[in-house]
Structure 1
Amino acid sequence: MEPEKISEGRVVAFIDIGTNSVRLLLVRINPNGSYQPLTKQKETVRLGEKEFIDRILQPEAMERAAFVCKKFMELSRAYRVEEIIAVATSATRDASNKVQLLEMIKKEANLEVCTISGSEEARLIYLGVSSGLRLGNSKAIFIDIGGGSTEVSVGDQNQYYFLHSLNLGSIRLTNMFLPDETGPVSEERYEQIKAYIRRKSADIIKELSRYTVNFVIGSSGTIENLAKIAFVYLHKTAHESFEKLEYEDLKKIVRAMCALSLEERRKFPGINSQRADIILAGAAIIETFMEELGLSEITVSKRGLREGLLVDYISKSEFSYLVTQMSVRKRSIMQLGLACNFDEEHAHTVSRLALELFDSIQALGIYEFEESERELLEYGATLHDIGTFLSYDTHQAHAYHLIRESNLPGFQPEEIEIIANLAYFHRKNTPKKKHPNLEGLSKESVKSIRALSALLRIAEGLDRSHTGIVSHVRFYIASTESLVLEMHAQKECQLEIWEVEKHKKYFKKIFGYSLQSKAIIEQTAGTPLIFKGNVEIEEMPRD
């Protein structure tokens, strides 16, 4: 379905009718191409309950799915949704009575649903998960365990190389091997499930083994819950972020859960009680894949099909460049800036000047930056003013909180802290070592924030008037103790010069050099050299 041109912004609903759950993502897509998730909802409906023996969806399961779709449609209307994209996956595509389900949803919820193939499901999951990762040209294997099927793909940041859907899912395998199991699950029964998975996936495992990959990413509620269980049960702490699932941990928690009855399993540390009856079958899938591929751990992603529908939608709109021409990190930064209605021209000017200062001081050899710091300075400079739409007077504090709370896809938590603190310290306070913002950060991160903010403060001052007067800037060495900051400007830039003056003391504290300013102004020929205080202004003829 190709969306119309997004001209005035619109609210779009993305609905994923899965075998276990129905999921909703409501997004406002703004006229500038940015988008804001309005709500994410998920309801367990067990659409595939008792289906996979005779390929018939049960009446009660269909009624539950239709009821949730109706509720999601009511919620969508409350947000004044303009477009709805709804897809159904494994349970629906495998059912002999799927037409009955689709007609029921159409009648009860007034919702048209498209049933997608397994390979299309794998493609959309790849889009949704990869769009939140920094992969570059590195290939990754993506594994998503659903209720009825498991989707696997291989891809890098920009394209996929392999897509496949297997009829292996947590509900499907529970129906086959543990249909009415309420007691403990024997080791023999669990091994039977794994042997079946191994047979069914042998050709795909062989195909996946041909690729050289740097990452293996697992997604879905099953994998997320297993990672949480491992963290809570083995590490005795409740934590919101479960970034890894280790093979050895997985084996330990599976052994512990198999020994319990279903009722006891529902109370297992970290478990989603609604998954207690199907979690072991799901665990058998990922455990078998990890064994066959020789994986000691997988990275866990909370993204999936819903996010893939959104990425696919944007890639077909006038804002496709946000998906096709930007790295995931650049896209994250631009999305946040656009969502905050930032002054894009000023942001780019300050970013460009900050990078010129960085490259210049690096070339002089008076300070040794890490390679990654250049990119973080660029992003801190891009977002430094995003808090102004809330309050100008304290916009640096608002920018800090907006960046920290945006969970920028593609960035590590420590990198987000650096970017947020660069925005915070671009004006007013300097990053003193005991500042509360810096508590808990590594020494390396604090050092980065202190050095990079010294450059960002000057770069921001060089566009104080927001008119892009300063076109080019560089440092050069004047003596063993001082540097000259040479500014090329299109006209007199006294305001910018005054701003730079404010930051010389902090610059010297960080880099050990005092700073002189020299402005070269391109004007008419024959104008004499002008000196103002310790600032040298030279007016050059234009070509």
Structure 2
Amino acid sequence: MGTILALDKDVSGKNASDLVAAVDLGSNSFRMVVAQVVQTPSGTQLRPIDTLRESVRLAAGLTDNKLLGNEAYQRGITAIRRFGERIRGFDPSKIRAVATNTLRVAKNASSFIQEAEAALGFPIEIIAGVEEARLIYIGAAHEVPAVHGNRLVVDIGGGSTELIIGKGYEPKLMESLYIGCVSHSLRFFPKGNIDSHAFKEAELAARREIQVISGAYLKSGWKQVIGSSGTARALAELIADNNLGGQADSLTMGRVNGSSGLITREGLRALKKHLLKYEHISQVELIGLKDDRRSVWPGGLAIMIAVFEELGIESMEVTDAALRLGVLYDLLGRSQHDDMRFVTVEQFMQRYIVDREQAKRVGNLAAEFLAQLPKPEEESRADNIALLQWAANLHEIGLSISHNGYHKHSAYIAGNADMPGFSKNDQARLAALLIGHAGKLGKLANNPIFSDWRMLFCLRLAQVLCRGRSDGNLPKVKVSEHNGSYLVSLSKEWADEHPLTEFSLQKEAAEWERIGRPYSISLK
């Protein structure tokens, strides 16, 4: 193997510091986009300079017991390895890789992600369906012409379909449904067989899913409809290339306006009629039907028809921006201190009526303790301080349910709620800190995945010291760590004047000792 060089410049000649990249591990295709960050008088823009796409058909390789089969697994890793070469040498803060529905449901997703991260060279986040919807909307909103009023964005992926209503760049209604072009095609058109009964069943199944949300969406209304997925683009191109939509020039017109086509109700009906002439997908003759789409477009067509019928849509513009561009703009927002996760935490604090003074008190003290501890080379201290303070801000949200065992309720909410901006891993880490910030440590000690012990130590200590819920008379505390053992040093005089706190610290030390982590208290 040759020597790997970290370059100051990308092969395109652009300064690497000006480049960002997004990796989208979808259920049907893996995609990557590299873009240049351009500062203009009107604000920051992203100019894509390179794209990669691999048809890995991950969802098609999902077995009945929700495991990724070996062939799909290896196709995915091979594609990611090629992506990794393209972004080798990039600053980790300029890369964001996300995985969607198939890796949300696959039981062996963790082993795949571990191997994929090694192949890519960067962390990979598995994002929740609603977070995927949010990012899709952001990407589409930045790519299509502006409109006064609401817009509806529909993204039919391989394993899920996202529907979002928003205004400007802000999503308002977000839903992720478990229907996708790959899963639907496998379910209703097994082995590529086609008949009118199967197609009707595929439509009805999709309509039942959409009916659950249609009332709220129709009530909200929209002025513009955007299709943002590979499925939407493929359907628009088939309609235009085969002159099935009654508007032969619609594809060209759409591209001029920043989209890549137009889907009409008439065009969808014509595609369905043409499809049902055949008994097997391999026999279908359509101009522009690509081989990598041949096996999955019947399911996508059925879902799109269901969307049009249930929501009363007549025509839909199509853009190819979607998730990848949304990931880039969200990444850019984080670097410019416009991180959606801070907004989400703020909304949760309002919703669960958090004692803000106490949350701030605990968070500041916990961050002060973390700053005193050694920083391993692989740790992002800024990211961990942010996570630690989010945990402090949310550690008492469970009180809205019950004081008894409130930390368990806090952890359940953080681990299971829709939290825009947070990846699944973010939420899992946050929930672990919340379940562990009070009470016994046994469950976390038996969890081989949990690794945020240093942060948990800081959070628990801050929570003990702030029990009085007052800023006054807090002691000067020094903390240190060596090989997993902790030392807490404070004034003996202060401890003598605060017997409850001293007793609580001794109990805390005993709890850590119980799980095999030495914890000493020094009173001088």
TM-score by length of 2: 0.56
Distance 1:108 1:314 in 2: 24
Give the drift of 1:281: 0.5
Q: Please say if 1:49 is aligned against 2:60.
A: yes
1:152 corresponds to which letter in structure 2?
L
CA contact (8 A) 1:9 1:28 kept: no
2:306 corresponds to which letter in structure 1?
T
CA contact (8 A) 1:53 1:176 kept: no
Give the drift of 1:171: 0.7
CA contact (8 A) 2:151 2:225 kept: yes
Secondary structure in 2 matching 1:153: strand
Residue 264 of structure 1 corresponds to: 283
Secondary structure in 1 matching 2:190: coil
Secondary structure in 2 matching 1:77: coil
Residue 201 of structure 1 corresponds to: 210
| Deviations 1:297-335 (CA, angstroms, capped at 9, x unpaired) | 1111221000001111222333969xxxxxxxxxxxxxx
Matches within 5 A, 1:502-513: none
Residue 22 of structure 2 corresponds to: 14
Matches within 5 A, 1:7-156: 9-29=17-37, 33-51=44-62, 53-77=64-88, 83-156=94-167
Distance 1:144 1:163 in 2: 11
2:226 corresponds to which letter in structure 1?
I
Cα 1:31–1:224 change in 2 (3 A) is closer
Give the drift of 1:31: 7.0
| Deviations 1:114-141 (CA, angstroms, capped at 9, x unpaired) | 1000000000000000112333541011
Give the drift of 1:147: 0.2
Give the drift of 1:197: 1.0
Distance 2:326 2:103 in 1: 19
Cα 1:9–1:35 change in 2 (3 A) is farther
Residue 248 of structure 1 corresponds to: 266
Q: Please say if 1:214 is aligned against 2:223.
A: yes
1:161 aligns with one of 158, 172, 179: 172
Larger Rg: 1
Among all aligned residue pairs of Structure 1 and Structure 2, give the percentage whose two residues are the same amino acid.
Answer: 26
Give the drift of 1:54: 2.5
| Deviations 1:7-30 (CA, angstroms, capped at 9, x unpaired) | 993322210000000110112325
Secondary structure in 1 matching 2:174: strand
Matches within 5 A, 1:297-376: 297-318=315-336
| Deviations 1:422-473 (CA, angstroms, capped at 9, x unpaired) | xxxxxxxxxxxxxxxxxxxxxxxxxxxxxxxxxxxxxxxxxxxxxxxxxxxx
CA contact (8 A) 1:50 1:175 kept: no
Q: Please say if 1:170 is aligned against 2:181.
A: yes
Give the drift of 1:214: 0.8
Cα 1:106–1:186 change in 2 (3 A) is same
Cα 1:238–1:162 change in 2 (3 A) is closer
CA contact (8 A) 1:122 1:152 kept: yes
| Deviations 1:67-87 (CA, angstroms, capped at 9, x unpaired) | 111101101227788732100
Q: Please say if 1:276 is aligned against 2:291.
A: no
CA contact (8 A) 2:138 2:169 kept: no
2:178 corresponds to which letter in structure 1?
N
The answer for unaligned runs of 5 or more in structure 2 is: 1-14, 340-524
Cα 1:220–1:40 change in 2 (3 A) is same
The answer for unaligned runs of 5 or more in structure 1 is: 1-6, 322-543
2:308 corresponds to which letter in structure 1?
M
Larger % of helix: which? 2
Secondary structure in 2 matching 1:244: strand
CA contact (8 A) 2:154 2:227 kept: yes
Secondary structure in 1 matching 2:155: strand
CA contact (8 A) 1:205 1:289 kept: no
Alignment: residue pair count: 312
Give the drift of 1:35: 3.9
Secondary structure in 2 matching 1:302: coil
Give the drift of 1:203: 0.9
